[in-house]
Amino acid sequence: MLTRKQVLAPRSAWGRYSVGSGCVVLGWLAREALTPAVGPTALPFIFFFPAVAMAAWVGGLGPGILALVLSAVAANWFFVAPTRDWALHTPGDLATMGSFAFSCSFILSAIDAMHRARARILAEVRKREAAELETHQQKELLATTLASIGDAVISTDTAGHIVFLNAEAAALTGWKNSEAEKRPLSEVFHIINEKTRQPVESPVEKVLQSGTVMGLANHTLLIAKDGREIPIDDSAAPIRQPDGPLFGVVLVFRDVTAQRKSQEIAARLAAIVEHSGDVILTKDLNGIIRSWNASAERLFGYRAEEIIGKPITVLFPPDRLEEENHILGSLRRGKPVERFQTIRVTKSGRQVPVAVSISPLKDQEGELIGASKVVHDITELVAAREALTREKELLATTLASIGDAVVVTDAEGCVTFLNGEAERLTKWTSTEALGKPLPEIFRIINEETRRPVENPVEKVLRIGGVVGLANHTILRAKDGTQTPIDDSAAPIRHANGQLLGVVLVFRDFTERRQAEKELREAHGQLADRAGHLEKLVRERTARLQDVVNELQHVSYAMAHDMRAPLRAMSTFASLLAEESPNGIAPSRAQEYTRRIIVAAKRLDKLIQDALNYTKVAQQEIQLGPVDLSKLVRDLIDTYPNFHSDKADIHIANELPVVLGNDSLLTQCFSNLIGNAVKFVAPGVKPRVRLSAETSDGTARISIQDNGIGIPKGAQARLFQMFQKLNAGYEGTGIGLAIVRKVVERMRGKVGVESEPEAGSTFWVELSLADGPKTTKWVNR
Amino acid sequence: MSAITGLILAAEDEETDRFILNLAFERAAVPASVVMVNDGAECVDYLRGNGRFADRALHPLPTLLLLDLKMPRMHGFEVLEWLGTQPELKDLPAVVLSSSSDESDIQKARRLGARDYFVKPQSLDDLVGILHQVYERWMR
Contact A277, A255 (CB under 8 A): no
Residues from chain A that touch B39, judged by Cβ atoms under 8 A, are 727
Rounded Cα–Cα distance for residues A649 and A706 (Å): 11
Compare all CA atoms of chain A with the CA of B98 and give the residue at the minimum distance.
Answer: A560
**Does an H or E element contain A14, and which?**
helix A13-38
| Closest residue on chain A to B72 (Cα) | A725
Residues of chain A in contact with residue B123, where contact means CB-CB under 8 angstroms, are 570-571, 574
* Calpha distance A114→A137 (Å, rounded): 35
Q: Do B101 and A567 touch (CB under 8 A)?
A: no
CA B121 to chain A, closest CA, distance in angstroms equals 8
Chain A, window 683-722: residues with a beta carbon less than 8 angstroms from a chain B beta carbon = 711, 713-714
Q: Tell whether the model's pLDDT for residue B65 goes beyond 90.
A: yes
d(CA A611, CA A617): 10
CB pairs under 8 A between A and B: 66
Half-sphere exposure of residue B53: CA atoms within 13 angstroms, side-chain side? 18
**Quick check: B16 and A564 CB within 8 A?**
yes
SS3 A114: helix
Instruction: Write out chain B residues lying below 8 Å of A599, CB-based.
Output: 16
d(CA B61, CA B43): 11
Select the residue of B38, B72, B121 nearest A725 (Cβ to Cβ).
Answer: B72
Nearest to A568 among B16, B39, B70 (CB): B16
Kindly identify which residue of chain B lies nearest to residue A715, measuring between CA atoms.
B73
Cβ contact (<8 Å) for A713 and B74?
yes
A 10 A CB-CB count for A314 gives 13
C-alpha A526, offset from chain centre: 52
> Are A564 and B17 inside 8 Å of each other by CB?
yes
Residue in A with minimal Cα distance to B123: A571
Asked if residue A23 lies in contact with residue A55, where contact means CB atoms within 8 angstroms, the answer is yes
When scoring B16, B75, B82, B103 by the number of chain A Cβ atoms within 10 A, the one with the most, hence best to mutate, is B16
The neighbouring-strand residues paired with A184 are: A161
The answer for residues whose C-beta is within 8 angstroms of residue B118's C-beta and 6 or more apart is: B95, B96, B97, B98, B130, B133, B134
CB contact under 8 A, A567 and B124: no
Nearest CA of chain A to the CA of B87: how many Å? Answer: 23
**B32: pLDDT strictly greater than 70:** yes
CA distance A416 to A430: 9
Considering only the beta carbons, identify the residue of A567, A598, A725 that sits closest to B120: A567
Cis peptide bond prior to A242, omega within 30° of 0: no
- Tell me which DSSP letter residue A770 carries: S
For A92, other C-beta atoms within 10 Å of its C-beta total 10
| Spans of chain A, pLDDT less than 70 | 1-11, 216-217, 469-470, 557-558, 721, 724-730, 770-780
- A727 contacts B14? CB cut-off 8 A: yes
Task: Assign B81 a pLDDT band (cuts: 50, 70, 90).
Answer: very high
Give A679's DSSP letter.
S
- Per the CB < 8 Å rule, is B16 touching A595? yes
Give which of A549, A560, A718 to mutate to test B binding, by max B Cβ within 10 Å: A560
**Inter-chain touch B13–A727, beta carbons under 8 Å:** yes
The single-letter DSSP state of residue A469 is P
d(CA A559, CA A606): 12
Average pLDDT score over residue span B11-15: 89
A595 touching B (Cβ < 8 Å): yes
Q: Do B73 and A726 count as a contact with CB atoms less than 8 A apart?
A: yes
The verdict on a CB contact (< 8 Å) between B70 and A567 is no
Entry field: residues in chain A: 780
Of B14, B73, B102, the CB nearest to A556: B102
Check CB contact under 8 Å for B99 and A560: yes
Q: Which residues of B touch A563 (CB under 8 A)?
A: 99, 120
Q: Are B74 and B80 in contact (CB under 8 A)?
A: no
Query: Do residues B122 and A566 make contact, with C-beta atoms less than 8 angstroms apart?
Result: yes
Backbone angles phi, psi at A519, to 5 degrees: -65, -45
Q: Name the residue of chain A whose CA is nearest to B69's CA.
A: A560
What pLDDT, on a 0 to 100 scale, did the predictor assign at position A113? 92
Cα–Cα distance, A652 to A703 (Å, whole number):
10
Contacts of A714 in chain B (CB under 8 A): 72-74
CA angle A619/A623/A624 to nearest 5° reads 145
For residues A232-270, one letter each, b for 16 or more C-beta atoms within 10 angstroms of the residue's C-beta and e for the rest, the string is bbbbbbbeeeeeeeeebbbbbbbbbeeeeeeeeeeeeee
Q: How far out from the chain centre does Cα A545 lie?
A: 74
Residue type, A62: G
Cα dihedral B45, B50, B55, B61 in deg (nearest 10): 40
Q: Is A307 within 8 Å of A292 (Cβ atoms)?
A: yes
Helix axes A510-560, A735-745, angle to 10 degrees: 160
Q: Do A725 and B13 touch (CB under 8 A)?
A: no
Name the A residues in 528-557 with CB < 8 Å from any B CB. Answer: 556
- In this complex, which of B41, B78, B124 lies closest to A571 when CB atoms are compared? B124
Q: In chain B, what residues touch A727 (CB-CB under 8 Å)? A: 13-15, 38-39, 71-72
Q: Point out the residue among B38, B78, B121 whose CB comes nearest to the CB of A713.
A: B78
One-letter-per-residue 3-state SS of B57-70: CCCCCCCEEEECCC
Question: Do the Cβ atoms of A83 and A41 come closer than 8 Å?
Answer: yes
Q: Where are the alpha helices (DSSP H) in B1-140?
A: 15-28, 40-48, 76-84, 103-111, 124-138
CA distance A461 to A501: 8
Which stretches of chain B sit within 8 Å of chain A by CB? 13-17, 19-20, 23, 38-39, 41, 70-74, 78, 98-102, 120-124
State whether A568 and B41 contact (CB < 8 Å): no
Query: Average pLDDT, stretch B36-56?
Result: 90
CA nearest to A406, candidates A430, A382, A390? A430
Choose the closest CB to B122 out of A567, A575, A724: A567
Contact at CB, A713 and B100, closer than 8 angstroms:
no
B124 and A560: CB-CB below 8 Å?
A: no
The C-alpha atoms of residue A330 and residue A337 are separated, in whole angstroms, by 7
Contact predicate B5/B32, CB 8 Å: yes
User: Is A564 touching B (CB cutoff 8 A)?
Assistant: yes
Q: Do A727 and B41 touch (CB under 8 A)?
A: no
Residue count of chain B: 140
- Scored b (16 or more CB within 10 A) or e, A111-145 reads bbeebeeebeeeeeeeeeeeeeeeeeeeeeeeeee
**DSSP notation for A74-104:** HHHHHTSSSSS-----SHHHHHHHHHHHHHH
Number of other CB atoms surrounding residue B118 within 10 Å: 18
Interface pTM, i.e. ipTM: 0.86
Contact residues for B21 (Cβ-Cβ < 8 A; gap 6+) = B10, B12, B36, B127
Residue to test with chain A: of B25, B99, B126, most A Cβ within 10 A: B99
> What is the rounded distance in angstroms from the CA atom of residue A413 to the CA atom of residue A748?
76
Whether the CA torsion B83, B84, B89, B94 is positive or negative: it is positive
pLDDT tens digit string along B99-113? 888 888 999 999 999
- Integer-rounded Cα Rg, in Å, for chain B is 14
Contact A343, A350 (CB under 8 A): no
Report the alpha-carbon distance of residue A443 to residue A23 in Å, rounded.
132
Looking at the complex, report in whole angstroms how far the Cα of residue B98 sits from the nearest Cα belonging to chain A: 8
Model confidence, pTM = 0.42
The DSSP result for A198-240, as a single string, is -B---HHHHHHHH-S-B-PPSSEEEE-TTS-EEEEEEEEEEEE
Interface test with B, best of A563, A571, A591 (most B CBs within 10 A): A571
Q: Which chain B residues touch A561 with a CB distance below 8 Å?
A: 70, 99
How many angstroms separate the first and last alpha carbons of chain A? 187
Burial-class residue A719 by CB neighbours within 10 Å (0-12, 13-18, 19+).
Answer: buried
Cβ–Cβ under 8 Å, residues A280 and A358: no
Helix (H) or strand (E) holding A361: strand A351-362
d(CA A687, CA A679): 11
Question: Of B39, B41, B101, which has the smallest distance from its Cβ to A559's Cβ?
Answer: B101
H-state helical runs in A427-493: 430-433, 438-441, 456-463
